[in-house]
Structure 1
Amino acid sequence: MTDAVRLAPGDAAPDFTLDDQAGAPVTLSDLRGERVVLYFYPAAMTPGCTTEACDFRDSLESLSAAGVRVIGVSKDEIPALAEFAERDGLTFPLLSDPDHAVQEAYGAWGEKQNYGRTVVGSIRSTFVIDADGRIEKAMYNVKATGHVARVRRELGVDAA
């Protein structure tokens, strides 16, 4: 199996509607006019995903001040996302994509290496979507540690 999709700057961001940790629908096209950081992570409450989510949480004020909205997406069901948000004080939307259709549309689902084995699952990826709904940046196979600082640097957003 190969990764069917790889989005690149200038591509239209695939639209979607997914439910957040409170069960409320979030539609990407409703956010036109804003820059969005859309990040895909493998599983709520795992060490790397917690590091990444908490780094986004800690950078939320400076990102928001720069007009950037943060949204996380995983295959987790809503109750797990609600627990994750509650446990770690995550105040941005965490979206449930249990059939991984949105992850597939973004090329964030496919083969990856996990402890030396090839498995199929969520590929930690981040996309910056501009106010017109186009991909500004596409980052695949990112590392959780230090990633948010890299996103801030690339967006020209100072730390909070």
Structure 2
Amino acid sequence: MQDEIASAALKAIRRILRASEQNTRKLAAATRLTPSQLLVLKEIDQRSETTPGAIAAALQFSQPTVTNILDRLEELGLVLRQRSERDRRQMLLRISPSGKGTLDAAPDPLQERFRQEFSALLPWEQAMMLAGLERLGQLLDASEIDAAPLIDTGAIDRNVG
């Protein structure tokens, strides 16, 4: 019985990973962006003008991860960086017109669908799911891993798979 439950749990994890992978491929095909890059772009758009630190805090990404993502978004012409007039040490971020167009063209990401469906659950269901997912993270030694996967800091190779 214990092995059957463990097998069913592993199968569910594999399905979730496959859904995430399929979403990543669809997003890359439409925008040439990774999910984390899209999240950063959306966060900048929502804030009009912001700092890398504010983005890192809002998305719970590490500062180096956000810096790498911003480098890629700037390279693609989707984000504009400029020094603050008030504090020259501070870098301000804005979305470019091209970045706005990319957001408009982006398919509905898995994260947004999850947020909508999750928020529709009853509070006790949300709490149980969160507790289960946090415990799963502990079982997989993933509790201290940055929420943005390393693959999301660079370009996607569309020739794979």
Under a length normalisation based on structure 1, what TM-score does the superposition of the two structures give? 0.31
User: Between Structure 1 and Structure 2, which shows a larger proportion of helix residues?
Assistant: 2
Under a length normalisation based on structure 2, what TM-score does the superposition of the two structures give? 0.31
Structure exhibiting the larger radius of gyration computed from Cα positions: 2
User: Between Structure 1 and Structure 2, which shows a larger proportion of strand residues?
Assistant: 1
